[in-house]
Structures are given as C-alpha cells and as structure tokens.
Structure 1
Amino acid sequence: MRGLAFALAPLLLLVMLAMLASLLGFAVLKLAGDVLPLAKVVSKITLVLLLLSVFPLKKYLQLSWKELGFAPCPQFIGQVGKGFALSLATLLPVLLILYLLHVHVWDDSRVWTWQIFIGKALLALLLAMLIAVGEELLFRGLLLSGLRRQMPLFAAMFASSLYYAALHFLKSSTPVAYADISPFSGLPLLAEAFANWLNPAIVSAFIALFAVGLFLAVLRSFTGQGLGWSIGCHAGWVWQIKLSRDLCNVNLQADSVYLVNTYYDGVIGPLVAVWLTSVLIGYGLYACYMRSR
C-alpha cells in the first residue's frame, strides 16, 4: 500500500506544479504581452518547474548523484557515446523500413545544401541533447531512483515509464484570447490537457512511448551507473526523428501508415512498440540464459 501511495505521489506533484504554472503563465503574459498562446506558456513553465523540482527532491530523498545514475565524468562521457551508437542501431532500421514502405516520403519541396544540412543536423543534435539530459535526469534519474526505494526494480521501471509516456500527451489546444485571460484561465486548459489522456487517438503512441521508457529504464538500470547510456540513446533517437521530419513527410495514403501514429509525430507508433518490445524480450531471454550458465 505504501508503494502504491509513493507511486501516485509524482502525479500529485505534477498536478500541483501544473496549477502553479497556470498562474505563472498569466503573470508572464501580462508582463511580456501577447507573444505566445497561454496553453504553450503553461506547458513550458510546467516542464521548467518539473526540472527544477529535481534538486529539492534529490535533497529531500537524500539521493546522491551516483544513486541518480551518474558515473565518473570520463566513464559518463563514454556511456553517452555508446548510448548514441545504440540509438542508431535501434532506430535507423525503423526509419529505413518506413521509407521503403513509402510511409515516409522524401520532401522534394525543400532545397538542401551540405551547409544547410550540417547546420540543421547540429542544431537538432543540440536540442536533442538538451531534451535527453532533462528528461533522463527527471525520469530515469530522480523518479526511477526514488521509486526503487519503495518498490521492486521492475515495478519502479514500469511506473516511471508510465509517467514518461503520459507526460508527452499532457496537452491542450484551445485558444484563449489575450484580452480574456485571467489568473484562472489556465485551469480549463489543464483540465483539457489531463483529459487528453483519454483520447483514443494517442493509444498506439502511448504504448510505443511506454516501450521507449521501459527500454531506457532497463538500459539505465542494468549498466550500473548507467544514466549516460540512457541520455546518449535518448538524444540519438530524438536527433534522428528531428532529421527525419525535416527530410521527409508522412504519406497518409500509404498502405502501411498504420505503423506510425500520425496524431503524434509520424514516427512513434506500433512499429516502434513492437520493435523495442522484441528487443527487450530478446535481452531478457539472453540475460536468463547467461544467469543459468
């Protein structure tokens, strides 16, 4: 029972931070003017608050950086590089299959030069690293390490992966006119964002992102202080997806378009879910075989 209560604590924290973000979003727009939609401002502030919460929660839970998964610097850098290489081995085959099946088609409306491509690739890599460091520190660092103190490892990996997948769909799209915003305008947006978890259009992407989270949790947990592995792999996946979306469009008329979730990003979907689940099952069978020797 205590483990269940601890597993639900992050949800309560998320709700509280989202409500605080809705109030801060109103204040930001009143100071900055009509620069962004309220929903987007609230979403970004929520993410920032979640990342900032890592530091007080780390202290409260008395977790060391080692317990969060950080190896000594040279080893950590090596892990990031190996994780990035693993991301190429695990996602490039998926992208190739989607291209061969004409689910992804080359965007010939754009003109590319090597200078433009390299610039795009470097910018995508920088953004991918920022996303990976933040999300891995939060989900495979703080959340997974905290949950492991109260429940078995596999239950902690399951719960952290569930939160990881769910956070990607905490979205609202209803516009609020700048003249109509008030300190409480963000609350209906929050209700819409949480209700989006019940949207049937997200199901295949949610399952795929759960598989992604589980893969990264296994990678972090079974490589010792392996947060560098999950950061590198996560960054590599994000980088490839960003480049793929720059280079290709999703062909909604393709016979195999069901392999991706077009509501989400046109890459994540049933193919990714099946592929990563197969890899995890293969790894589990291999690990059992090695222990039995």
Structure 2
Amino acid sequence: MKRYIAYSIVPLLVLLAATSTACVLSYLIVLVQDDPSSLRTLITRLTQILLLLSIFPAMAYLNFKKEDLGFSVRPIFLKQLPQGFGLGLITLMPIFMILYALGVNVVDDSQPWDSGLIAKKTILSLLLALLIAVVEESVFRGMLLAGLKKNMPVVAAILISSAYFAALHFLDTRTEISPQDFNIFSGFILLGEAFANIVNPKNASAFVGLLVVGIFLAVLRTQVKESLGLCIGCHAGWVWQIKMNNSIFNTNMNSEYLYLVSINNNTVGPLVTGWLGFAIAGYFVYKKLRN
C-alpha cells in the first residue's frame, strides 16, 4: 500500500516542478513584455507545454516505447482518430439533446448567425479541440496511465490518473496581478490560489464529472490495445461539442434543471456523471455476459 501511495505522489511532484518552472519563466517573459496581465495565461500555457515535454525523459527513464503509451502505427492511429471522434459524438450528443429539451440550453439569438459564422466557429473549435485532446491524452491516458499501470493494479492506475486529470482542470485562478504588485513571487501567489481552487467545494460536482470522464477514457485505453488514437478522437469530439454548444446556446440560469450541469463549462455535471457512469457499467456487464 505504501508503495502505491509513493508512486501516486510522483505525478504531483512532476506537476509541482512544472508549475514552479512555469512561474519563473513567465516572470522573465513578462519582464520583457512589460505586461503583468498576461502572467496567469503564460503560467497555464507553459505548464501545459512542460507537462507534455516531461513525457520524453519519463519514457527514457521507464524504458517506454510509443506503443507503451498507446500509440499505434500511423495508418491505424489515423483511422482511430475519426472512430474516436464518432464515439465522442455518440456518447455526448444525447446530453445536449436532453439539456435542450429540458430548457437548460436556449439558442443564443444575439448573434447574427449565418453559414460563414457557423463554419468559422466549427473549424476553429475543431482545431482547438484536437490540440487539447492531443496534449491531455498524451499526458494522462498516455504517459501517466502507462507509468502507474506498470507499478500498480490497473484499476488503481485508472482511478489515480483520472483524479489527476480532473484536478488539473481546476488548477486556475481569476486573480489579475497589477503592475505595482508584480514581482518574482507573483506567479507563486497565483499558483497557490490555483491549487486552493482544486479543493473548492463549489467545484465538487464538476470534479466528479471530470473524474468519470477520465475513467471512461482510461477504460477505453486499457481495454483496447494501443488505443490512444481512439482516446484522442473521443476527447476531441467531446471538447468540440462543448465549444460549439457554448457558442450556439446560452444556459438558462432560471431553469429548474440547472443542477444537471456544472457552473464551470455548463456541461460536465451530474447528468454527464450518470450517463458516462452508466455507459462504463454497461460495457463491463456486456463483457461479462459475453464471456
């Protein structure tokens, strides 16, 4: 048990190293740019880049090949991406249909909708969704899950990697640093607020939802050999739908069913938790009956 706890803490140490380095680098960049307002965004982006780059020394240390992370050969990987994207559409589209039917989502009539605007939002959202999916899946369902799975039971590896995945989505703060308060410690002040945000009770519903999202993707990764392409495609499909939903619809804050979504992205909440939890349970029941 102590061994498992020790291995589960290693990703936290890597995260602390990445965020601390990002704070220092962001401070130096802001000094050159003379724009403290960009500090928070810089820390976030640099942390993401550093976490992605940390995959390579970790692979060397653990003697992993790309196949160990879940990457298949290129033709299969490229085939998995649209397959995963389709899975993402199938698994999340019912959520948006329910939210629209219940009046939680209402069409945003304030924008001058036309084919050009829709096409622009569709393409930009898709590109951003793919970028997010590649980074997060490579880190969480790739390196982190593979590393944990090597040293502990697969169920524990799935739960721990999914908890880190959920927590990272709340590693943020809305505080802005004014020019007169800006110094080398400013980034670490923001970092402290960001870590405190993870344990904010207001985020509990969204955290559980994202935990189940991570478990769903981790199950997909562990049940299908070299399936990181499926995970990336599925994740991209989800993110794309969320971004398009937020562009086209507004959330009715007076809806009696508002509790079904979280305040973070107006999607991931109890409804997603129940739906994906049901899908995960259904898969294992089907697998057991089939065997």
Please classify the TM superposition score into its range, dividing by the shorter chain length: over 0.9
Residue number in structure 2 paired with 1:222: 223
TM-score by length of 2: 0.97
What is the SS of the residue equivalent to 1:174? coil
Letter in 2 for 1:256: Y
Match runs of 1:146-185 below 5 Å = 146-185=147-186
SS in 2 for 1:112: coil
SS at match of 1:22: helix
Aligned to 1:62: 63
CA distance in 1, matches of 2:236, 2:39: 28
Residues 34-88 of structure 1: CA deviation (Å, up to 9, x unaligned): 1743222212211111111111111111110011101111111111111111111
Partner of 2:86: 85
> Aligned residue pairs: how many?
290
Counterpart for residue 95 of structure 1: 96
Find the aligned partners of 1:130 and 1:191 in 2 and give their Cα distance.
27
Matched, 1:201 2:202: yes
1:37 alignment counterpart? 38
Q: What is the CA–CA distance in structure 2 between the aligned matches of 1:36 and 1:80, rounded to whole Å?
A: 37
State the 4+ residue runs in structure 1 displaced beyond 4 angstroms.
none
Q: What is the rounded CA distance, in whole Å, between the counterparts of 1:270 and 1:162 in structure 2? A: 17
Following TM superposition, by how much is the alpha carbon of 1:20 offset from its aligned partner in structure 2, in angstroms? 1.4
User: What is the TM-score with the length of structure 1 in the denominator?
Assistant: 0.97
| Alignment-derived partner of residue 269 in structure 2 | 269
Work out the percentage of aligned pairs sharing the same amino acid: 44
Instruction: Return the alpha-carbon distance in structure 1 between the equivalents of residues 87 and 286 of structure 2.
Output: 17
CA contact 2:85–2:237 (8 Å) conserved in 1? yes
Displacement, 1:17? Answer: 1.4
What SS does the corresponding residue of 2:67 show, helix, strand or coil?
coil
Deviates more, 1:64-73 or 1:181-190: 181-190
1:258 matched residue in structure 2: 259
Partner of 1:192: 193
1:241 aligns with 2:236: no
Which residue pairs with 1:284 in the alignment?
284
**Which letter maps to 2:278?**
S
Alpha-carbon RMSD across the aligned residues, in angstroms, is: 1.0
Give the distance between the partners of 1:283 and 1:212, measured in 2 at CA: 15
Once residues 84 and 257 of structure 2 are traced to their aligned partners in structure 1, the CA distance between those partners, rounded to angstroms, is 30
Paired with 1:16 and 1:79, the residues of 2 have a C-alpha distance of 33
SS in 2 for 1:67: helix
Instruction: Assess if the C-alpha contact under 8 Å between 2:36 and 2:178 holds in 1.
Output: no
**Aligned counterpart, 1:141:** 142
Q: Is the 8 A contact 2:37 2:176 kept in 1?
A: no
SS at match of 1:213: helix
Rounded Cα–Cα distance in structure 2 between residues aligned with 1:29 and 1:186? 11
CA offset digits 1:103-132 (Å, max 9, x no partner)? 010000001111221121011111100100
Q: Equivalents in 2 of 1:221, 1:36: separation in Å?
A: 42
CA contact (8 A) 2:36 2:177 kept: no
1:3 aligned counterpart, secondary structure = helix
